[in-house]
Chain A
């Protein structure tokens, strides 16, 4: 019994802030608009709605593009900036700086940059590229949000990967160099296998973050144009807080949770397979 008082605050927090809300979510998702038990009606309504299929498609596209892109860029930046030097240290700070900008503020800044006469088109114009519609085009809006999210995300994930790189013992590289291994060969045979754990963390955490992206959508596009940026989190918010349909929002939230858990489990499986050096 002795450890119980020490564990109590954590157990209480787990119960109050995780398990009870999750239980409430399940209960709500099985209720009708008036609070009555409705079985799987909400899920049936969701999965027969073409609009929800679009929402899922947009969300999965966003995750499928954003996570590999951010992870690859963050890994590249980490390799570049892992060494302390007079040139790289200040650059590393610059890449990391956007993390301190709240996502709502970042959304407003990027919203201004994406305007027809904004900074992005001015830069493209100086390169001889014609003006782009960005957030007002159904084919460009989601990718514009991806670029914005990556501006913040890459620097953030880079820091975790730099931490991982610094944990790799130097003598492995020295031994490889003595054996005649080049830089690429060292990267492939030493760095990447030993970065498996930090990379797994970054991929899983980035996947969750991408699924839960909300502020830029709510501020910049509100799901448009043409539903192209209607991601699940915004849809949940809209159902619950605009249309006052909490049970449908709960069903959507639960669906999102299940999809996320499945994807994260697959990622864990794939990434935890130890590869023999």
Chain B
């Protein structure tokens, strides 16, 4: 064989093949060349955190390389990336419920000496508690969350329904909300009611919890399954009924679809997070308000809480840069405000106060929502359970809610869930 006048012999050909097939081995070299940039792993395309990266670059001169996967795949992708050895990740978003699992696998770098003392007084105590596991601070709490009941004022007015109040005293029961939603729907609204995060554990844990049914696990290590009790059953029946009645729609299954439905003025009531305020307020002609998160009559008022923390990879070579970034996004008030992404809440007490005070200034319609959210964070917020079985709990409970939404009976679904979780938990090494 001759190439451009050069005769390629058998030996030359085989050497060439060997050379080409060895190219992947050069991968680590390019990774080493990139070690200068802090590599951040999160969800989506990075738009949500762009403000934070830009602000951090301004104060530190450090660039951040973002890599993302779909929201629902985030935590398990992190697990797989670290399991392969060279994860290519320095800093990553951590759902704090995964701290026990990540800790057991040795993924998270220890932050105790860097931030253990420094974070006291700056961050909400419940978030610090969530970042600590077996005596070590393993994550930097960054975002916080709560949930409110958004409503479309125009649709309510059209149905002659009075807009609900924003004070915690004006909290409605689920039955009342659904009754109003049906009225608004009868007056022409396409959909009466919806949860932003369809079927997700974070969003629906409050239903059985409001009735005293617990988070689905109990015992010292939270590995005893408890999802077939009366409260779960009652909550499940209620959840199934709103879809069976048609007041909630089975069609949208993604958070963005729920938000779009509300933004388009086709949904009367939406239980969602404060991060939506920035987006909703940009929509021209959308006249909306917010009310306290509903509860079950005879039960207690509870609201979802917590949000993403930041973790530092245990094997990162960029320790100083990573700690600097974690400090900025969590403990520096200005950084924490930017990290909350506009209208989301922060784990930083000062930042949350500033964000909350800005919301009613920018949205006169939402007067009083700052006091409401502060009340919820202090009085009704519940956390998701810290258990080594959270991976299984979240996935299987979410699937059970989905089955109930699609028309399966609550009793049979939760009975099956109970046995599936019990079996699944047997596989968890203690």
Contacts and interface: CB of A to CB of B under 8 A. Distances in A.
A226 B391 contact: no
A115 to B, nearest CB: 5
Interface residues of A, number: 29
Interface string B401-430: 011011110000100100110011011110
Contacts of A244: 76, 79, 83, 101, 105, 391
Given A33-B428, A224-B399, A243-B391, A136 B420 contact: no
A248 B427 contact: yes
Contact of B406 (A32, A33, A117, A225): A225
Dominant SS among interface residues on chain A: loop
A272 interface: no
B80 A222 contact: no
B14 A137 contact: no
A233 to B, nearest CB: 16
A251 to B, nearest CB: 11
A98 interface: no
A50 interface: yes
A245 B76 CA distance: 12
B395 A238 contact: yes
A137 B424 CA distance: 25
Nearest to A5: B14
B429 A136 contact: no
B17 interface: yes
A20 interface: no
A33 B427 contact: yes
B332 to A, nearest CB: 34
Contacts of A227: 416
Contacts of A51: 420, 423
A9 interface: yes
B429 A226 contact: no
Contacts, number: 69
B399 A241 contact: no
Given A45-B427, A116-B250, A243-B427, A136 B101 contact: no
Nearest to A111: B253
Given A136-B250, A241-B76, A243-B395, A224 B402 contact: yes
A164 interface: no
B429 A242 contact: no
Contacts of B105: 244
Contacts of A137: 406-407
B391 A116 contact: no
A236 B406 CA distance: 24
A117 B250 CA distance: 10
A115 B79 CA distance: 33
Contact of A226 (B14, B101, B413, B424): B413
B411 to A, nearest CB: 13
Contacts of A248: 427
B423 A49 contact: yes
A117 B408 CA distance: 21
B251 interface: yes
A171 B80 CA distance: 60
B392 interface: yes
A63 to B, nearest CB: 23
Contacts of B419: 50
Contact of B427 (A115, A224, A245): A245
A51 B415 CA distance: 13
Contact of B399 (A9, A117, A222): A222
A197 B80 CA distance: 42
Given A32-B429, A136-B405, 14 more contacts: A45-B427, A50-B419, A51-B420, A51-B423, A117-B251, A133-B406, A136-B250, A138-B408, A222-B399, A222-B402, A224-B406, A242-B391, A243-B424, A244-B83
Closest CB pairs A-B (n = 4): A136-B406, A225-B406, A33-B429, A225-B403
5 contacts: A9-B17, A50-B419, A133-B407, A226-B406, A244-B79
